[in-house]
């Protein structure tokens, strides 16, 4: 078995950067990045600039993935991608079977999985995926797991906050690892009990340690027994409280709340560790703006009126102003380039003046090499790309573990 990767929704290449840092043997054989409604495909151009001489980019790499025939996607050992959290519900369409909503990208992943059946899959999504939609908690993730199970995969997931393992951003994301039941890795795991797998021998728990938990706190639901793995049934009726860790094998979901322990770095990486010493004056806040920033960051109690005419008080708590640099950064959003409540403001190391983060610092917060996005895209889009990115440090550790697993498959 080789170390080939197919990368979907590639962005500026976070998965690829992490995997190639973990081992030079990883080879991305195909990658897709397409931003709808964008005339200039900045993220794709950034990806291509860094990787075009390493292979893996073909004529379909900058098209809507829905338009890519699966026969044009090379065989691969590992499928990766950070896909958006959408409405994954399906409907019955008579003789045609089931159909999800148009444009929902999970169904493109499922289409490729059905055609290619890669032995391993690693996906990333926002942490709210486990609870969506609000009116039928857990349905969307239940659909995803059911799809995997029907295709012969077992699944493990973990919500990981990068800062809790020593890295430089308090960013919580759901990671999903799926392994096909024909692999040696699955055969090895089949002999492990559920508690052992979630506690220390699973994919995530063997990398990102968790505190010992009570075996009796594991909750379960049998998708085969209750829904017969029928995706329409799951879509219509499934409701379940997923915790931050869990597995699904033989059609049974097991989940439990875990707490992280043992950081993976020598010491906790903080904002101070990644800040530049000298920055351009344009990042310094003007005296005229300080009052506006203080208001945005401060606590509020504002009386508002709903569409129905009902009066209510909108409240929000204060955000630290400036951001403490002796801690990891807050979660970076795509709005980082704007004058926004969530935008980071720090005290400049050299002058003590309040300032914004530079694009280079935003890259460091996600673990990218310096000036990774300095490829001709606009200044504001560099921030946008980092707001969409994952923390590369986590992927590097996952890449090392997956390299060990695939080595044992041969």
State the pLDDT at residue 102. Answer: 63
pLDDT digits (tens, 9 = 90+) for 340-398: 999 999 999 999 999 999 999 999 999 999 999 999 999 999 999 999 999 999 999 99
Confirm if 212 and 199 have CB atoms less than 8 A apart: yes
Least reliable range by pLDDT among 55-69, 106-120, 287-301: 55-69
Site of tokens 């044009």? 72
pLDDT band at 178 (very low <50, low <70, confident <90, very high): very high
> Is residue 185 within a helix (H) or strand (E), and if so which, with residue range?
helix 184-190
Q: What is the pTM of this model?
A: 0.94
Of the residues 6, 46, 85, 362, which is catalytic? 85
State the pLDDT at residue 313. Answer: 87
pLDDT band at 61 (very low <50, low <70, confident <90, very high): confident
State the pLDDT at residue 87. Answer: 81
CA distance 327 to 323: 9
State the pLDDT at residue 232. Answer: 92
**Which is it for strands 78-82 and 120-126: parallel, antiparallel or unpaired?**
parallel
Q: Taking the CA atoms of the chain, what radius of gyration do you get in angstroms?
A: 22
pLDDT digits (tens, 9 = 90+) for 110-138: 999 999 999 999 999 999 999 999 899 99
Average pLDDT of span 41-45: 94
Average pLDDT of span 164-169: 98
Listed in sequence order, the DSSP H helices in 305-391 are 359-365, 379-388
Bridge partners of 98, per DSSP, are: 92
pLDDT band at 59 (very low <50, low <70, confident <90, very high): low
Tokens representing 54 are 């390493």
pLDDT at 94 over 60: no
Least reliable range by pLDDT among 15-24, 39-48, 59-68, 375-384: 59-68
DSSP secondary structure code for residue 305 in this structure? E
State the pLDDT at residue 308. Answer: 85
Phi-psi bin for 335: left (phi > 0), alpha (psi -120 to 50), beta? Answer: alpha
State the pLDDT at residue 38. Answer: 83
Residue 315 CB coordination number (10 Å): 9
Domains of the chain plus CATH, in order, are: 4-263+391-409 (3.40.50.150), 271-380 (3.90.120)
Q: Residue 88: how many CA atoms within 13 Å on its side-chain side?
A: 30
Distance from the first to the final alpha carbon of the chain: 5
C-alpha distances (whole Å) from 274 to each of 22, 92, 261, 325, 367 are 21, 51, 23, 9, 10
pLDDT band at 89 (very low <50, low <70, confident <90, very high): confident
Confirm if 395 and 17 have CB atoms less than 8 A apart: yes
Site of tokens 């899959």? 121
Average pLDDT of span 52-72: 80
Confirm if 65 and 32 have CB atoms less than 8 A apart: yes
Confirm if 49 and 41 have CB atoms less than 8 A apart: no
C-alpha distances (whole Å) from 133 to each of 85, 213, 242 are 10, 28, 12
Residues in the chain: 410
pLDDT band at 55 (very low <50, low <70, confident <90, very high): low
CA distance 270 to 23: 26
Confirm if 81 and 7 have CB atoms less than 8 A apart: yes
State the pLDDT at residue 57. Answer: 60
Residue 267 CB coordination number (10 Å): 8
Least reliable range by pLDDT among 55-59, 150-154, 345-349, 386-390: 55-59
pLDDT at 301 over 90: no
State the pLDDT at residue 60. Answer: 64
Active site residue 6: no
Mean pLDDT of the chain: 93
399 prior amide bond cis, ω within 30:
no
CA distance 347 to 283: 11
């Amino acid at each position: 078995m080789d170390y080939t990767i197919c990368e979907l929704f590639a962005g500026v290449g976070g998965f690829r950067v992490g995997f190639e840092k973990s081992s030079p043997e990883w080879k991305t054989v195909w990658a897709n990045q397409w931003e709808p409604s964008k005339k200039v495909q900045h993220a794709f151009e950034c990806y291509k600039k860094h990787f075009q001489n390493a292979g893996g980019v073909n004529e379909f790499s900058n098209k809507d993935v829905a338009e890519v025939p699966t026969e044009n996607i090379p065989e691969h050992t590992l499928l990766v991608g950070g896909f958006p959290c959408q409405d994954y519900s399906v409907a019955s369409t008579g003789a045609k079977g089931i159909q999800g909503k148009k444009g929902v990208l999970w169904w493109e992943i499922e289409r490729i999985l059905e055609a290619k059946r890669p032995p391993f899959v690693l996906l990333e999504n926002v942490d709210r995926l486990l609870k969506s939609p609000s009116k039928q908690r857990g349905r969307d993730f239940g659909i995803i797991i059911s799809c995997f199970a029907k295709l012969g995969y077992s699944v493990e997931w973990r919500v990981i906050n990068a800062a809790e393992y020593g890295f430089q951003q308090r960013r919580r994301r759901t990671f999903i690892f799926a392994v096909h039941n024909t692999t040696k890795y699955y055969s090895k795991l089949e002999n492990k009990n559920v508690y052992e797998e979630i506690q220390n021998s699973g994919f995530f728990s063997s990398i990102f340690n968790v505190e010992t938990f009570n075996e009796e706190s594991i909750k379960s639901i049998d998708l085969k027994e209750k829904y017969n793995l029928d995706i329409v049934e799951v879509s219509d009726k499934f409701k379940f409280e997923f915790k931050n860790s869990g597995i699904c094998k033989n059609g049974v979901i097991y989940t439990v709340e875990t707490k992280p322990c043992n950081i993976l770095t020598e010491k906790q990486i903080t904002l101070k560790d990644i800040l530049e010493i000298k920055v351009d004056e344009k990042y310094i806040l003007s005296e005229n703006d300080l009052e506006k920033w203080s208001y945005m960051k401060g606590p509020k109690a504002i009386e508002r009126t709903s569409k129905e005419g009902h009066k209510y008080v909108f409240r929000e708590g204060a955000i630290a102003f400036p951001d403490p640099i002796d801690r990891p950064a807050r979660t970076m959003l795509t709005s980082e380039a704007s004058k926004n409540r969530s935008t980071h403001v720090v005290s400049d190391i050299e002058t003590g003046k309040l300032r914004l983060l530079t694009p280079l610092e935003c890259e460091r917060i996600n673990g990218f090499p310096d000036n990774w996005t300095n490829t001709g895209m606009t200044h504001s889009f560099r921030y946008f790309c980092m707001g969409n990115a994952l923390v590369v440090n986590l992927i590097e550790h996952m890449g090392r573990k997956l390299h060990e697993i695939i080595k044992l498959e041969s």
